[in-house]
Structure 1
């Protein structure tokens, strides 16, 4: 029985490359969202919430949407855009590390994908459907591939 040593060559880890591309996609979407928020500012958000209030004949003075409407300010938009930028940078760093088959990136990805699992299960309980099940399946697959990579690295 011959045991082969773990080879951290990225070419031997197509699963890591796929996850790196997925993380890059998340980062690009977050960057687009942050850019859109900064370019548009708070007024289009206010207009959208007012449209929802009118569309569903909601009380314009009480409830979640009017409360959200009162919280939208230029500072809140800048803070949301900065948070999205930080999220995008984290995922870009993770994607780079996964593409290069770095152990720390597998740990980071496994933990970050694992954090979403309880929320995915909750989403299925609240809104069962193919979309919720697909998201759960993808996150489980990501955790499995990254956990397997971590375990293979152990001597």
Structure 2
């Protein structure tokens, strides 16, 4: 028998200051994604197509070949609405995750840990293809996020002395 009673997890969010920092990052991602979705819906396809054509002319690229030409042809009302819907869903998911992390919810730690871990192979690929401080920074940030959230989940499963 132990002298101290145990708890299954630590419910105090201030016991895990990294969760609050990650919640703020996730809230910022949510804001940017929702702003992008709103901007796409407000602008519509015509100004976007005109902006791509302006880039093609400015950089003296082919108007019929290449990625920008493909993009200009792909921009339609349907693709703008679909892209805005995807951005809005992404933003809402990050907003929910931010709320959950701020409120110290275990499901939010699971969601954030899995979401950040999914990016790691892409971060490693980007680092291999384009070595430099931006790729290293993104990789380090995602590793830290996975570590902090995994540590939180581990602490929730480990009984703590009172």
Short-chain TM bin: over 0.9
1:5-154 mapped onto 2 (5 Å cutoff): 5=7, 6-154=9-157
* C-alpha distance in structure 2 between counterparts of 1:89 and 1:2, whole Å: 45
Unmatched tracts of structure 1, length 5 or more: none
Output the CA distance in 1 between the equivalents of 2:40 and 2:89: 14
**Cα drift, residue 52 of structure 1:** 2.2
Deviation at 1:2, TM superposition (A): 7.5
TM-score by length of 1: 0.92
**Paired residues of 2:40 and 2:84 also in contact (CA < 8 A):** yes
Q: Give, in angstroms, the shift of residue 55 of structure 1.
A: 2.6
Computing the radius of gyration from Cα coordinates, the structure with the larger value is: 2
Bigger relative contact order (CA 8 A; separation at least 6): 2
Show structure 1 runs of 4+ deviating over 4 A. Answer: 1-4
